[in-house]
Amino acid sequence: MSSTNDQTHHSLIAGAPVAGTDGTTRAVDPARNAASGPEFSLLDNGQVAEATRAAADAFAGFRTVTPEARAAFLETAAERIEQSGAEIIANAMRETGLPEARLQGELARTANQLRLFAKVARAGDHHGVRIEPALPDRKPLPRPDLRQRTLPLGPVAVFGASNFPLAFSVAGGDTASALAAGCPVVVKAHNAHPATSLLVGQALSAAVADHGLPAGVFSLVYGRGNAIGQALVSDPRIKAVGFTGSRRGGTALMATAAARPEPIPVFAEMSSVNPVFVLPSAIAGGRDALADGFVTSLNGSAGQLCTAPGLLFVPEGSDGDDLVSRVTEKLSAAAGTTMLTPDICSARVDGEKTLASVDGVGELGRGGDGDGSNAPAPAVYTTDVETFAKSPELSDEVFGAVCLVVRYASAGQLPSVAAELEGQLTATVWIGAGSDTDTGSGADHQSARDLLEALELRAGRVLFNGWPTGVDVGDAMVHGGPYPATSDGRSTSVGAAAIERFLRPVVYQNVPEALLPAPVRGHNPWNLTRRVDGATVVAGEEENA
């Protein structure tokens, strides 16, 4: 893709460029606070319907593709993205202000996610096959032949995230898991990084063509944010939504999806302050490392990570004072770094002003402003646990490098405070080495147990003696949580289980063998591991069921 300013680029609908008729947009280089890169034409609502129609047309052929063919397609998509990696990263740096090392890591994560879901598709566990053969002689009533599997929901609309231009965007986890499930995808490109989005979209479209799949399996659309988003979610051909962004944006999509004649699920990741609870035993030693780790986790990527820790609970007393002093010193020595967009920067500044205006909240320290107008100084504030408990606004997310230190008198106060928090993506507990949680000994063991029991009801991931930023992509990860962390706390947007969002179960009762779909046929043509009569039967080890 040429990035010269004299060329207008367009949406990709079923692999072909389509010129929009609703004006154009350009990215803003946040480091210079100036328009940058080529223009991109914007689709009107009628043109968006071309993409959803193509996705619906592609669904019949794509959902029946074999596990091996689907896996090979996802692996090719990963390879295509890596082949364009240098150009993708160069454009992403210009459009987001993120450093090269961060984007290199994110590109690798994007490719690895696609390969993870290739493994998921190939293994086939997500088909959830359960077979109960007929028992015609069972008393008092015979049992029919019952065969259950999961089906893909249909075309999925995915919204690219501002803070992850690759891993949560065009070919990110939502797209990868939906494609692995057998759902065509229509991606709404984020207008903050349009050139990055197009390059990744071209790689995905090429992979679709490489494997001879229906062209409508993937489309990338550009449009005016609210209008095109509402048009996508209200389109009757769209059957589910993947979204990463603000609570306001996510709840607006949820309302539209719920108001449709046929309501559909919206899987939105929206808001989290990711509290960190430091128990007294944790600051008996190693306070400098504790302060370093917290500030690094908070300040990385200008605080624009969805798992950045915005709350730090620290005990009162001289040990706690020392830890807070070290956190303040380290954060005050840091300079602001460029935020993703002027609007995000403005919201961060306004959020800090709201936090600072609450009675009982005081500023402890702040760093220096960075270069340019979109690099505000990191800042740390403090309050006591009583003020925090009676001030719900102190739990609101400030998307950026701003944190609130909450001082508590006794660890016994923490479970009730934790129980009143909004839903979170993560919650962290720090406990000292002298508290042996494996054997149940140590001064803080019971406090940790009580706190864990409260936090597991409020967060999708509870971690001990670590930092929440840096989400591992694998089989066991959960990146979700109760509302407003996500719109549906039963789901995850990271990890192998993300595929389950885009599937539904169906049962075939007494269907003739010749008419059964491949996953539930007696001779198991897809070689899946299945449950037969309540027992797990590993692929290749069963006779005809």
List residues with catalytic annotation.
269, 306
Report the distance separating Cα 381 and Cα 366, nearest Å. Answer: 9
Measured CA to CA in angstroms, residue 454 lies from 274, 419, 423 at distances of: 14, 5, 11
* Radius of gyration, CA atoms only, the chain: 25
Residue whose tokens read 């967060």: 459
Calpha distance 219→88 (Å, rounded): 18
Q: Which amino acid is residue 291, in one-letter code? A: A
Q: According to DSSP H, which parts of 383-430 are helical?
A: 385-389, 414-419
Phi and psi, residue 78, nearest 5°: -60, -45
Q: How many CB atoms lie within 10 A of CB 475?
A: 12
- In the β-sheet with 34-41, what is the strand arrangement from edge to edge? 8-9, 34-41, 24-29
d(CA 542, CA 533): 12
d(CA 8, CA 380): 44
Output the CA torsion 311→317→318→320 (10° steps).
-20
d(CA 123, CA 529): 8
**What's the Cα-to-Cα distance from 31 to each of 96, 106, 196, 321, 373, rounded to whole Å?**
8, 20, 17, 37, 8
Cα angle 432, 437, 442 (rounded to 5 degrees) comes to 60
What is the rounded CA–CA span in Å between residue 96 and residue 107?
A: 14
Query: What is the Cα–Cα distance from 300 to 228, expressed in whole angstroms?
Result: 32
**Distance of alpha carbon 54 from alpha carbon 472, whole angstroms:** 34
If we measure between CA atoms, which residue out of 134, 175, 137, 138 comes closest to residue 158? 175
| Cα separation values, 158 from 15, 130, 283, 448, 516, Å | 17, 30, 43, 39, 32
Are 395 and 313 within 8 A, CB to CB? no
